[in-house]
């Protein structure tokens, strides 16, 4: 067991295929759900290129410099299949920069579902197919084999951990949510209940969210946050071996803009942390190898890293969301039986969790966050565009002789 104290920095990279303003008059006539006009809020190429210049390219430039300047620095990434496809199509220079990072040997890719879906909770065979698709594209583009797993939106429960253990992963990630951990700290390695080999790393949500959500909030009592102040907070758990900082990659430059100082904070972090000789950085799989589990964590309920509730209500909390996702997965058998690659791919792109997130109506608690990420005027507009695309999927099935 390692006698060092490690930061495990895990960043998640994702962009969905947003559904354009697809009307009922388009259904049965065109199937271009994801091809919005240039300049529209749903144009995927525009959004990917914007985020590339605000976040992906400047962050990767700094990460390469951090790797060069700090021999102990390393991190883990998960990159969805949907964003990898779009980077290949719209911003190949960004994909190349991610390949350079992984090529250093100090950046791990974490496995997940290709389409950033909630398939685990609706169709296990479809879930496993998407996990394999993601494993395949990571091997093709990065020439690495994944050994750690995270599910969409850090969703997690005992069943998922059991599946991942049986699938042979070294580690799985979850939110370090207090009602699940109880008296335990997220800063230790754990074993999921009912598993034999896999390790559980739990997000330190307080320190992670200080960076991801509060960094540029001028109403925050700790504003402005500096690296020295952050290092002071890490000393509160000086006798605990891990500091799991999990967040969206787009934190850097997109959610927290460059003028907030977030890039300077990121680049200064390893230098400050590594001033202490016992400190280091580890990837998710390295930490799972180096540290023994100190206890078992039982999580029969599903938790996520979203909203104040940390459950699935951000995606399936209202009737619109529940009806949309149930309708989509209700087509599973017929869609797959067609063997029509284009039809199956459109159906899978509609499984991406973002579509249901845009339909969220929790405006009195986390609604501002949902509205910030949505390209639609309202949750109802998102629902209408999605369901019109769904009805076109049904039309395409009837054309092939399926009864729906």
How crowded is residue 275: how many other Cβ atoms within 10 Å of its Cβ? Answer: 9
How many other C-beta atoms are found inside a 10 Å radius of the C-beta of residue 257?
15
φ/ψ of residue 244, rounded to 5 = -90, 105
Q: How far apart are CA 321 and CA 314, in angstroms?
A: 9
Q: Is 153 a catalytic residue?
A: yes
- List the catalytic residue out of 153, 175, 254, 267: 153
End-to-end CA distance of the chain: 56
d(CA 78, CA 114): 10
**91: DSSP letter:** -
Using CA atoms of 239, 235, 260, 67 in order, give the dihedral in degrees to the nearest 10: -50
Chain centre to alpha carbon of residue 282: 19
Token pair 């071996």: residue: 241
CA distance 48 to 83: 8
Sequence-distant (≥ 6) Cβ neighbours of residue 200 within 8 angstroms: 161, 171, 172, 173, 174, 189, 190, 191, 192, 293, 297
Contacts 24+ apart (CB under 8 A), 224-231: 224/261, 225/265, 226/265, 227/265, 227/268, 227/269, 227/272, 228/272, 230/265, 230/269, 230/272, 231/272, 231/273
By annotation, the residues acting in catalysis are 153
């Amino acid at each position: 067991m390692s006698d060092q104290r490690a930061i495990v920095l895990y960043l998640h990279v994702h962009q969905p295929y947003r559904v354009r303003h697809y009307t009922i008059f388009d259904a049965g006539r065109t199937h271009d759900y994801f091809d919005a006009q240039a300049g529209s809020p749903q144009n995927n190429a525009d959004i990917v290129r914007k985020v590339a210049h605000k976040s992906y390219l400047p962050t990767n430039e700094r990460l390469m410099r951090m790797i060069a300047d700090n021999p102990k620095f390393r991190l883990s990434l998960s990159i969805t299949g949907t964003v990898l496809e779009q980077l290949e199509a719209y911003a190949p220079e960004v994909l190349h920069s991610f390949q350079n990072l992984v090529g250093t040997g100090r950046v791990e890719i974490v496995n997940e579902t290709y389409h950033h879906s909630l398939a685990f909770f609706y169709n296990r065979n479809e879930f496993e197919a998407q996990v394999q698709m993601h494993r395949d594209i990571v091997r093709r583009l990065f020439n690495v084999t994944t050994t750690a797993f995270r599910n969409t939106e850090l969703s997690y429960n005992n069943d998922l951990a059991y599946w991942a253990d049986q699938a042979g992963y070294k580690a799985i990630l979850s939110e370090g949510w207090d009602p699940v951990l109880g008296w335990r700290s997220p800063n230790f390695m754990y074993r999921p209940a009912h598993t034999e080999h896999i390790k559980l790393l739990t997000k330190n949500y307080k320190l992670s969210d200080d960076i991801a959500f509060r960094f540029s909030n001028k109403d925050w009592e700790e504003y402005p946050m500096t690296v020295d102040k952050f290092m002071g907070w890490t000393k509160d758990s000086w006798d605990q071996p891990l500091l799991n900082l999990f967040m969206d990659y787009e934190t850097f430059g997109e959610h927290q803009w460059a003028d907030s100082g977030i890039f300077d904070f990121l680049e200064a972090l390893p230098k400050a942390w590594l001033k202490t000789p016992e400190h280091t950085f580890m990837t998710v799989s390295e930490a799972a190898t180096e540290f023994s589990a100190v206890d078992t964590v039982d999580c029969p309920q599903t938790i996520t890293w979203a909203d104040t509730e940390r459950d699935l209500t951000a995606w399936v909390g209202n009737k619109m969301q529940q009806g949309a996702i149930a309708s989509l997965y209700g087509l599973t058998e017929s869609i797959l039986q067609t063997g029509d690659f284009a039809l199956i791919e459109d159906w899978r792109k509609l499984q991406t969790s973002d579509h249901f997130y845009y339909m969220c109506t929790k405006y009195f608690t986390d609604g501002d966050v949902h509205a910030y990420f949505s390209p639609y005027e309202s949750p109802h507009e998102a629902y209408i565009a999605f369901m019109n695309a769904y009805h076109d999927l049904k039309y395409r099935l009837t054309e092939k002789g399926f009864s729906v």
